[in-house]
Structure 1
Amino acid sequence: MTTDDRPGPTLTTGGSDSELNGRLTEELIAFNTAATGAVDRSEFSVKVTDEAGELVGGLTAWTWGGLCGIELLWVREDSRQDGWGGRILRAAEAEALRRGCDRVAVSSFTFQAPGFYERHGYAETGRTLGIPGGHADVHLFKRLTGEG
């Protein structure tokens, strides 16, 4: 941990800080609400468990102002060929529609699943370079129609 020793406010660098993360989230939500007028931010998840109660896969997402943002989607390796990724994604899209969203945004590293999202109707909107191993973070977007 390092601290700036000058008088006045204290600048501290350290490890993960859940209290700071919570406060920053609150402050940014307030700022974003003031800037856009959208006040309907919420979070949701989709989870699949097996017969033993073990996690097969899941998704976490948020909704805000008609946009759904997928944060994480993961499926256990031994279940990846069973169609769970698509079922989880479709369930999340249905929940987003139920919550009044008409669009979804997600990003996926090039070594993860951008092709999976493209097969499900997402279009690439850009890339962030510099991911370790020469990879990129692929940004994808989809308009929801309520069909299918």
Structure 2
Amino acid sequence: MDDSGVAISTGGADAELDARLGAELDAFNQAATAGHEQAEFTVRITDADGALVAGLSGWSWGDRAGIEMLWVREDSRGDGWGARLLAAAEEEARRRDCVTIMVSSFTFQAPGFYARHGYEETARVPGIPDGHEDVYFLKRL
């Protein structure tokens, strides 16, 4: 603690702090962009047993949408599930009156996949992590 009684601490994952920061930033953003609500969406693909085959989480805010995470189970990769996830997310974004959708992918993940599906590279951040790059994409809907 410093002389003013303020303490600064660092640590590992902190779900309580993350929830508080999210709530505070959401409130600030909502006030700054009145009438443009942020909303999350998901796409889930399950097999006959109900096990998760693939999933996507995303968001919309005003007339923009973004993909946060996209994952396909290893034994189901190459079967077209990723393309189906993207199509469903893009359709949901259009339903929400979005005009673009964005996503980022590390070079060791799937930048080629997004490019094949009409996403245009807009930026690269080198060295994240260890010589790889974080690639940013945008697609007009």
TM class, shorter-chain normalised?
over 0.9
Match of 2:89 among 81, 89, 92: 92
Give the partner amino acid of 2:2: R
Separation (CA, whole Å) in 1 of partners of 2:29 and 2:133: 27
CA drift at 1:129 = 1.4
Determine which of 113, 124, 128 is the counterpart of 1:127: 124
State the Cα deviation string for residues 105-130 of structure 1 (Å, max 9, x = none). 10000011111111111000001111
Identity %, equivalent residues: 60
Cα shift at 1:32 = 2.2
Does structure 2 retain, via aligned residues, the 8 Å contact 1:60–1:71?
yes
Cα deviation for residue 38 of structure 1 reads: 4.6
- For 1:101-116, list aligned pairs within 5 A: 101-116=98-113
SS in 1 for 2:97: coil
Query: SS in structure 1 opposite 2:44?
Result: strand
What corresponds to 1:6 in structure 2? 2
Match of 2:135 in 1: 138
| Counterpart mapping for 1:24-39 below 5 A | 24-39=21-36
Q: Distance in 1 between matches of 2:139 and 2:34?
A: 23
Q: Gaps spanning 5+ residues in structure 1: where?
A: none
1:49 corresponds to 2:46 = yes
TM-score, normalisation: structure 2: 0.93
| C-alpha separation in 2, matches of 1:112 and 1:94 | 24
Q: Structure 2: which 5+ residue stretches go unaligned?
A: none
Q: Matches of 2:46 and 2:38 in 1, distance apart? A: 27
CA contact (8 A) 1:108 1:138 kept: yes
CA distance in 2 between counterparts of 1:44 and 1:131 reads 27
C-alpha RMSD of the superposition: 1.3
Cα offsets for 1:68-95 (capped at 9, x unmatched): 1100001011111110000011001001
1:98 & 1:71 partners in 2: Cα distance? 18
* Equivalent pairs, count: 140
Q: Given that residues 38 and 64 in structure 1 are in contact (C-alpha distance below 8 angstroms), is that contact kept between their aligned partners in structure 2?
A: no
TM-score, normalised via structure 1 length: 0.89
